[in-house]
Amino acid sequence: MSKLLRPSLVLLLVLTAVTGVLYPLAVTGLAQLIFPRQANGSLVEKDGKPVGSALIGQAFTEPKYFWGRPSATAPNAYNAGASSGSNLGPTNPALAEAARQRIVALRRADPGNEAPVPVDLVTASGSGLDPQISPAAAQYQAARVARARGLDMAQVRALVARYTSGRQFGVLGEPRVNVLQLNLALDAMPAGSVPGRDAR
């Protein structure tokens, strides 16, 4: 027994040092060297201060802002410490009711908008943290935002188009719009002009 105990303890200490200390330090160091922005949370700044992350959604509720995809995290929406979806199946009546209530809220916020409501505005993502919406979801809200800010509809639509990212490498995923960055660009937009991407 004593012959096995010493090599076992040595092996435990070596593996602990390699996998618990050296490997995490190496990965952290490489991440800071190669991808420093992503490694530090992909923070988005305004006036030199962080106002959020490009990777985590925020709850915008004012009519003058674009609204993101619903979040099912608890106890608050977009809670990064409790990433989760609603876990409601497609045949669950609660899912249909939640979507119906969200449609009602969108219609109430933008009376007269009879366009079909994009699905990502009424269904939560699997993570509950989705920071992006589809271009269709952004364009759906453009009239409300333009009206609330006293802007020309063409200005707002052009801004949405400017902040629409295409498929990664041209083939992966779908076109998308980061809601936080779009709203910051709106806040920075002088009347009668559309800012460039450096407004982020």
Please give the chain's pLDDT, 200 residues, in tens: 777 888 889 999 999 999 999 999 999 998 888 988 878 888 888 888 888 898 899 999 999 999 999 998 988 899 988 898 888 888 999 999 999 999 999 999 999 899 999 999 999 988 999 999 999 999 999 999 999 999 999 999 999 999 999 888 888 889 999 999 999 999 988 755 544 444 33
**Alpha-carbon distance 193 to 156, whole Å?**
10
pLDDT at position 199: 39
What are the angstrom distances between the C-alpha of 131 and each of 47, 57, 69, 77, 93? 21, 4, 7, 12, 26
* CB 138, CB 95: distance < 8 Å: no
Residues counted in the chain: 200
| Model-wide pTM > 0.85 | no
108 class by beta-carbon count within 10 Å (0-12 exposed, 13-18 middle, 19+ buried): exposed
**Alpha-carbon distance 174 to 165, whole Å?**
9
pLDDT tens readout for residues 116-136: 999 999 999 889 999 999 999
pLDDT at position 191: 58
In the chain, the DSSP E strands lie at 43-46, 49-53, 132-133, 164-165, 176-178
Residues 6+ apart with CB under 8 A from 147: 63
pLDDT at position 197: 45
pLDDT at position 40: 82
What's the CA dihedral at 56, 159, 109, 82 to 10 degrees?
Answer: 0
39 class by beta-carbon count within 10 Å (0-12 exposed, 13-18 middle, 19+ buried): middle
pLDDT at position 170: 83
At position 56, the amino acid (one-letter code) is I
Cis peptide before 75 (omega within 30 of 0): yes
* CB 54, CB 64: distance < 8 Å: no
Residues 6+ apart with CB under 8 A from 7: none
pLDDT tens readout for residues 83-109: 988 888 889 999 999 999 999 999 999
